[in-house]
Every structure is written in structure tokens, then in C-alpha cells.
Structure 1
Amino acid sequence: MPGGPSLTTGGVANASVVWGIVMSAFAAFGGILYGYDTGTIGGVIAMDNWLDTFGDFGPEVPGATPAGFYLKTSNKSLVVSILSAGTFFGALLASPLGDRVGRKWGIVASCVLFSLGVGLQLDTKWATFIVGRVIAGLGVGLISCLVPMYQSECSPKNLRGLIVGLYQLAITIGALLAAIVSNATKTETSFSSWRTPIAVQFAWAFVLGGGMIFLPESPRYLLHKNNVDAARKSLARLSSSPIDSPEVEAEMGEIMLALAEERAHGGGSYLDCFRNTDLKNGLRTWTGIWLQAWQQLTGINFIFYYGTTFFQSAGIGNPFIITIVTDVVNTAMTIVGINLIDRVGRRRLLLIGAAGMMFCEYIVAIVGVTAGKTAADGTVNLAAQRVLIAFVCFYIAFFATSWGPVAWVVTGEIAPLNIRAKAMSLSVASNWLWNFAIGYATPYLVDSSTKGQPNGVATAALHVKVFFIWGSTCLGCLVFAYFFIPETKNLSLEQIDLLYKNATIRNSTKVREEMLAEKTHHEHHEKAIGDSTSDVAA
């Protein structure tokens, strides 16, 4: 599942955690909106009333399927993946929208746009439903960039890393809530079975958009627009300090100095993101873009988009409950993951996660094509099904502790200051582009072929064998992390610039340790000088 991106510039020097908690709460609503929207569709397209409304009637195929309404493979691909097409363009528009109207009002506008898309999805016409998915996708794409951008520029520095992880956690909570609501309404025979899960999204948009109206604008954005007085007032609110306090003046000076340094580096255009500079802009931008691509290529969204229908086709009883179980695993292990990022390290977690996912997915594929196959008389091997479900949960656990949250942390850290906003926009757009491609292609890879039947569609009919593909792409994730992801744990943004300038990827861990040791030695030396000066003065 896509995760929340995060800029790591800005931030507010504030010892109080009050505003950090407020910012985290509203980041959570952005993440819940994001995760709930992407998680709802998997349950909705499996509901009887939704299929009766939007599906096609298929006659009985003796020995195969009974007569009834079904969703054609092409329509299934379209309805699931079209939201990601909207989010791709929304992500690209986030940078100009955030720079033109501001982070705060950009988020409010995105919530209004998203609500319009949700409203259109309550209609019973196919074309209107699809248009609603696209418009909601635009809103989600904008929010997926603007909310973390606002958070990173306004949250206390000492809480910024945690907030990054909380945003990803909120996405998983949103997906879990979607599964719970869908399970609660799935047996209803009226339109409310699918309209209720969709309409719940109005609440998330209202809380996020309405709450943002009462929060201050990002002081960094205001200074970027040379609105010094408004920036000072905003910073005073965020730091809970008087407007003329030394703390506010000191923070204003730091932000203005960072802006001056950013402008001194030259242009910050999209073209500058790909230039070969001494700071390796091109390498760092492409690393972020491909890191997001590989996150999607882990195959995680196969479970969260198509898990319900996949478990149905595998003969597993009550697939809605199994979907809730996988979402609980995802949420619980994300909590574990966000606590490991600064302890284990980014690079190591990505390597461990890729290896673990690869192993689990190959096990699922092997069990699925051997002992897990449904017999000719319709019976299933319960032991094999339990193994299949268990390793799907292990696979999700490895993702949630590694590639889920870590990919977003690294994306926000590695881009140079003067291109960070645009590089993040490109990375998020990459995430949604691959999200769309995989969401659209998966039914053609997995579903049974209906070629030769009325309105039939030819498919690869891989079913559980698709996990051989996901296992192989996780091998690609392992190779990519080894050759392109440096270890940035405990480094400042300036130190990350030096790391790229003076180290290779594979020796980054050693160079990082040397840099931290040198910094510690320097701090001890300065402290010793200060202590001796105090003794002389005494």
C-alpha cells in the first residue's frame, strides 16, 4: 500500500509536545483518509448489491460458475486502478498548489475536491462512479503530498521522525477501518451495503479539512513568500511563545538562513532534480523515484486491493474476516516498524524486509500450486490453506516493518534542500503510477480466462502463481536496496549531503559511523573547552 511521504526540512524548535500531538492527530486523519479510500474498494467490488448494480449478468457455465452478476476483468481493472491515475496527477499538482495557495489552504481545497469525488461514487451509474473515483484520486494525491509537507515544516524537530512513522501507521489504520466497515455492511441487500463504506469518507475529509482551517500556515511557506510578520505570528503559535520572544527570533533566523542557502544553490526546477552535481542530485532523485516504484512492486496492494476476491477464489471461508486479519497484522507490525527505523537503520531494514518478503511469497506460491489446490470435487486442504494465510501474514509483517514506513523516510531524507519539494512530488507520483499499473494489470494476471464466452476476456489465469512474480520482484527490491540505498540513521540533512559527496552506497555505513564519531569527538572537545573556561573565570 502506498505510504505517506515526508519532507524533513523546516520543523519548529519547541520543547513542548502539545503542538506535536496536534500535528500528529491531523496527520493521522490525512493518513486515515488516504488508507481508507484505497482499502474500501476491495470489499465493495465483492458485495452482491454492488455487482447487481454495476456488474454484467452471466449465464450458468456447467461445472464452472452459476448464473449471476459478475464484474468483467476489464471493468475490475478500471474501477480499482482508476483512482491511482487520479492520484498520480494529484501528486504532481501538489507542489505548485502548495507553493501558490499555501500548505494549509491547499489541504483544505484537496479535502473539498476529495468530497466531491466521494459524492459522485454514491451514484448508480457506472460512468459517474468512475468519474468520482478519478476526482477522489486527485484529492488523495494532493493530500498524500501536502499533509506531510505541512507536518514536516510545522512539527517540533524532536518529533518529526516519529510523525513520519505515525502517518504511515494512520494509513494502515484507515485500511483496517475500511475492512471492518465493509465486513459490517456486506450482508445488506440494499444500496447501503456499499454506499455506507464509501460515505464514511466524508467524515475523514470533514475532520481534516475543517481542522486545518483553525491551524496556522507553515511559517516556512510564509517566509518563502516574504511574509515576515505572518510567519512570526505563525511561529509564535506553533512554539507556544510570545511573538517577540528570543525563541521565535532564533527560529526565524534559522529558517531564513536555510532559505538563503537554498536560493544560493541555484535553481530549484524539475530539471535541476536530474542534473549531475557534486551533491549527486540526479542519483538522489532517481533513487527516490525507484524506491517508491519498488515499494509498489513488492505486490502488497494485491492483498489490499484484491485480497477479498482472491481469498474467495482460493476457497477460503469468510474472506472478509481474513482481510480484517491481514489489516490488523499490517497495523500492528507498522507500530513495530516505526520503532525500529532509528534503531536498526534504514538500509538494514530494507534489506531484511525484502529478503523476508521474497521467502514468504515463494512459500505461498509453492504451497498454492501443490497442496493448496482445490480438488476436482471442490474440497480443499485446510492445513495448506492455513499455511497460505500464515505466510501471507508473515509477508505483510515484513512489509509493514520495512518497506512500508522506511521507503517514505528515506525519500524525504535523501533529496537536497533546494529540490526536496519537487523531488518528493516526483517520488510520490512514481508511487501512484506503479500503483495504477499494478492495480490495472493484476486482474488480467490472476483471474480465470473467460475467452470463448459471451463478452469473454483472455487472461493469464495465474491465480496463486502470481506470488512467483511478487517473490521475484522482492528479489529486485533486495538488489536495489543493496546498491542504491545508503545508511542515513542519526545523520543530519547536512551530513547526508556530505555522505553522498564523499562515500559510495556500499561503504555508507562505515563512513556514517566515522562522521558520527567525529561529531561526538568535536562536541566533547567543545564541552571540555567550555568547562575549562568556566574554571578560569571562577
Structure 2
Amino acid sequence: MAPAGTGEGVSTASLAWAIIMSAFAAFGGILYGYDTGTISGVIAMTDWLDTFGTVDTTGSLGTYLKTSNKSLVVSILSAGTFFGALFAYPMGDMLGRKWGIVTSCTVFALGVGLQLDTEWATFIVGRFIAGLGVGLISCLVPMYQSECAPKNIRGLIVGLYQLAITIGALLAAIVLNATKDFDDHSAWRIPIAIQFAWAFVLGGGMVLLPESPRYLMYKGRVDAARVALSRLTNQPADSEAVQAECHEIDLAIKAEQAIGTSTYIDCFRNGEYKNGLRTWTGIMLQGWQQLTGINFIFYYGTTFFASAGINNPFIITIITDVVNTAMTIVGVQLIDRVGRRRLLLIGAAGMLVCEYIVAIVGVTVGEATSTGAVNLAAQRVLIAFVCFYIAFFAISWGPVAWVITGEIFSLNLRAKSMSLAVASNWLWNFGIGYATPYLVDKSTKGQPNGVATASLGVKVFFVWGSTCVGCLIFTYFFIPETKGLSLEQIDLLYKNSTIRGSEKYRKRMLMANETYTAKSEADHVEDHPTDSEAEQKV
């Protein structure tokens, strides 16, 4: 049995149930990853271009997608997810984490249905509505996982969300490769329609799972919280372990509520628990994750590899997705061993080196000659270091950003602060998704319907490499080490420690079993000493 008030909440016998219940919610990652991975191949399909593209009357380009339309169709989902993430707060606090996810699946399914239409406006509206569902899910799922998972494997459990994202993207690449040569609408409708299955499995499965006990305690539903916690721990609701965990959560809630109300303004106030610092950390962390440039590969990878002269870019896309999935499996196992802060530092350093190498090779020997000939050795180096770059992201900034976002906020502000952080992710996602074609594509200025662009091509990796320098600096100054701490202990860490001193304080906290319960008992003993203790003081 765990010591009273440690926040572990599970015994060895119940660990399997805790993993199953918490990890199942990660299925939302498959929905998210598959959806974002689908558009990269869909916009390169012949039938889709014939349906939604523009016919070049000069005959030199055939049927193509305007740069403005390419930006819109890729990024409009991220615009929807931005608003979906913001709506996650009222939905998550009013309906709960569990029923909020179920409702989000319904919204997503509506958007998927609209994308099966052949009208451009309907397709775009469908992408936006699907984005609303994805945004809601991307916030509520890690929130649910963080509040239900045992602290000693919380990094693994929440990291499974990122693993599910990579599996979703891999499945999308496989399905796209299987249907790309179909000569009718089924080439792109089948990959899109498969998303109904993901929404049904996630929504239907969540109906069977318990509500977050921390959410129920926050709402004052103590008996329901004990029942939910008993399901997660596989112990009776009136057992000592369940009672101790509920007591620890209750003390943390009361300590936070004693400070005052919980409004959006409170998210940015730096009081005793440094909520302002925590909110800005989450917002900036999600922004920096996008600025690593990873979604450039997953949104535009197929068209980018094709423009670089690489044969069968669909296969290369599958290879990069396999690397992403395999290394995420490695990464989620390292989170609770190596630590959050250290992994982010390692990942940022590795990514910036790989991206600079890709950029340097690309601009020196990787570009095609005037006759169209390509340097095969340079292409192999380019592909290899893109894969290394993805590997460093997969073991660090991919899963760890979601883990930290799910655990650093205090309970009374978690829904609000997390919705702001995830909205930041999608805002940057939208901006990068919309701007990338204007940065990378060759300029068509002077041609019919031409558009002026920066024509960076592979030089864009100089930009991503430089932003990874920013990721490195941000991590060093703003990300604390929270490995092995309960959510309530993280509150104490922010209250009593600095960021760079967090590792030392974390170790001391774990050795001394410093918790709200232990502190409360110590204060009680100090205020009400026993007769022998009183005599010793005298």
C-alpha cells in the first residue's frame, strides 16, 4: 500500500487497470494524428486536384492547387483546433473530462462527414469543424490522463498520447499510399471516411471509463470521486488507500481555493503558487514545440520530397512516419527515467544539429541541376538527417510537451490554463501551416494566377534549426524537473523552489515525503504537541 497522501493512488495489483483506463484515452491521439497526417497526401492526389484544383490554361502546370488554397486547406483545421482548445475549458469544467471527450468526438464526426463533399466551401467548413473536435480532444485527453494516471508512470501514460498521434500519422500514410492511384473520388474519400471509426472507438470507449476523480473532488462530489478512484485503483471505495488519496486531493484544492477565485486573469497572476509563470510556461512550451518545424514534414512532407526530386515521395513519408512512431515508443519509456527537463534539452540540441545539416547539404549539393539531374548521395543524406531530426523530436518534444502541459497547472486553474496552452499550440500550428507554402514554394509571380513567395525550399531548415536554439534556451530557464512527483507535489515545487533548482528540491521532496498531508500533520503536531513533546520543549 502506498504511504498515506503520497498521491500514488494505486497498488501493484491495480497497476494494470490504471494503465488500461488511462492509456485508452490516448486513442484520441490516433484521431488527431491520422487527421493531420491525411491532408499531406490528399492534396497531392490526382483526383482531388481535378476536383478542387485550378486548370493552368498555359498548359505548363496542368491541374494544380494555388498557393493560397494550399495554405487555406492545410491550416484551416488548425484554426478550428485553436478555438476548440479554448472551448475545452467550459466544456471540461461543465460536462467533465469524460463527457467532454465524448461530445468532442461527435463534433469531429460532423466535420469528417462534410469533407466527403465535392464542393470547395463545404470541404473547407468540414475541415474547420473537424478542427474544433480535434482541438477539444487534444486538450481534454491529456488533462484526463494526467488526473487519472499514477504519478510514477504519469509520463509514460500521457506520453502514450503522443505515441498514438504518431501511430495515427503512420496509418494515414499507409492508407494514402494504398488509395493514391484510384482514379475516382474514393482515392481521397476512403482515407477521410476512415476517421469515423476513430471517433466511434474513442467516444464509445470513454463512455465505459470513470470520470476523473480530481475533477469530481473539485466539484464537491466526494462520494463519486471515491467510486471513480476505486475503479482506477481496483480497491474498495472505503479503503485506506482511496481515503488517503481523496484526502490529499482535498487538501490541495482547499489550499488553492484559499488563495481566491479562479478566473482567466488568475491564470496570469504570480502569487504564492506562481500560476502566472506556470501558465506562460505552458503557452510558450506548446508554441516552441510547433517552432521545431516538425509539422512541416507531416503537413507538406509528400510535396516537399517530390519537389526535391525524390522518387515515390509517398514511400518516404511512410518511412518518416515509421521512424516517428518507433522512436516515440522509445521516448515514452524515457520520460519517467531520464526526466522531462533533461529530455527536452537533449532533443532540442539534437534537432538543431540535424536541421542545420539538412539545410547545408540541401543548398550546397542537394539541389537539382538545370538539366534536372539530382545528387543521389546528397538526397540520401537529406533523408537520413530528416529521419534523425524526427527521432530526436519523437523522444523529447513530441511526448514531453504534452506531459508537462498536463501536469504543471494547479487543479483549480488546470482547465483554463491548459486550454490556453493547447490553443497556443494550434495558433502556431495554423500560422506555420499557412505561411509554409509562401516560404517554401517556388514563386510563380508573373504567371497567370501567380503568387510571389520566398522560394526558400530546403533553406527553410535554417529557420527551423534556429528556432531549436530558442527551444534549448527556453527549456533551461523555464522548465522544472517534475519526474516522480504527484500533481499536488508539483504545486509545492512551484511554491518552494526555483526552476533551475527544481531537480535538487524534487529529490529532497521525495526523500522527505513532502506532501500536503504530511505538511498538515506536521503543522497539527506543532500546534498540538503531545505531553512528552511539551515536556521536552520545556
Common topology (TM > 0.5): yes
User: Which of 34, 37, 40 is 1:39 aligned to?
Assistant: 37
Equivalent of 1:13 in 2, 10, 15: 10
1:273 is matched with which residue? Answer: 267
Cα offset, 1:518, TM superposition = 5.2
- Structure 1 stretch displaced more, 293-302 or 18-27: 18-27
| One-letter identity of the residue aligned with 1:45 | I
Choose the corresponding residue for 1:29, options 12, 27, 30: 27
C-alpha contact 1:297 1:434 (8 A) present in aligned 2:
yes
Paired position in structure 2 for 1:52:
50
Distance 1:48 1:21 in 2: 43
* Number of residue pairs matched by the alignment: 510
Q: Which stretch shows the higher mean deviation, 479-488 or 508-517?
A: 508-517
2:224 to 220, 230, 255: 230
Q: How does 1:94-109 map to 2 (within 5 A)?
A: 94-109=88-103
Deviations 1:335-357 (A, max 9, x none): 11112222222222211211111
> Do the aligned partners of 2:287 and 2:428 also contact (CA within 8 Å) in 1?
yes
How many angstroms apart in 1 are the aligned matches of 2:422 and 2:107? Answer: 19
> Any idea what the Cα deviations from partners look like across 1:425-473, whole Å, max 9, x if unmatched?
1111100100000000000000111111111111111111111111111
Matched, 1:154 2:148: yes
**Any idea what the Cα deviations from partners look like across 1:201-255, whole Å, max 9, x if unmatched?**
0000001111222223333333333334433443343333444444444444343
Alignment counterpart, residue 212 of structure 1, candidates 203, 206, 210: 206
Look up the match of 2:347. 353
Question: CA 1:156–1:478 in 2, change beyond 3 Å: closer, same or farther?
Answer: closer
Ranges in structure 1 where 5+ consecutive residues have no aligned partner? 1-8, 527-538
Give the distance between the partners of 2:497 and 2:215, measured in 1 at CA: 33
Q: How much has 1:361 moved relative to structure 2?
A: 0.7
Deviations 1:138-179 (A, max 9, x none): 000111111222223334444433211111111111111111
Q: Is the aligned partner of 1:110 residue 2:109? A: no
Percent sequence identity is: 77
CA change 1:137–1:392 in 2 (3 A) is same
Give the aligned partner of residue 5 of structure 1: none
Find the aligned partners of 2:150 and 2:507 in 1 and give their Cα distance: 26
- 1:183 corresponds to 2:177: yes
Q: 1:216 and 1:514 mapped to 2: Cα distance?
A: 34
Q: Is the 8 A contact 1:43 1:320 kept in 2?
A: yes
Q: Is the 8 A contact 2:102 2:204 kept in 1?
A: yes
Given the two structures, how large is their TM-score scaled by the length of structure 1? 0.90
Aligned mate of 1:407, from 401, 404, 413: 401
C-alpha distance 339-229 of structure 1, shift in aligned 2 (>3 A): closer
CA distance in 1, matches of 2:478, 2:294: 22
The answer as to whether partners of 2:146 and 2:407 remain within 8 angstroms in 1 is no
Stretch of structure 1 that moved more, 316-325 or 94-103: 94-103
CA contact 2:142–2:402 (8 Å) conserved in 1: no
Structure 1 residue aligned with 2:368, among 358, 361, 374? 374
Aligned-partner Cα distance in 2 for 1:343–1:251: 24
Match of 1:383 in 2: 377
1:459 pairs with 2:453: yes
Contact kept, 8 Å, 1:485 with 1:505, in 2: the verdict is yes
Q: In the alignment, which residue of structure 2 is the partner of 1:335?
A: 329
Q: Deviation of residue 292 (structure 1)?
A: 0.8
* Distance in 1 (alpha carbons) for counterparts of 2:275 and 2:186: 51
- How far apart, CA to CA, are the structure 2 residues paired with 1:428 and 1:264? 27
Q: Which amino acid aligns with 1:124?
A: T
Alignment of 1:439-454 (within 5 A): 439-454=433-448
Cα distance in 1 for partners of 2:498, 2:151 equals 28
Structure 1 position 27, deviation (Å): 1.9
State the alpha-carbon separation in 2 of the partners of residues 501 and 233 from structure 1: 31
Question: Tell me, what secondary structure is at the counterpart of 2:26?
Answer: helix
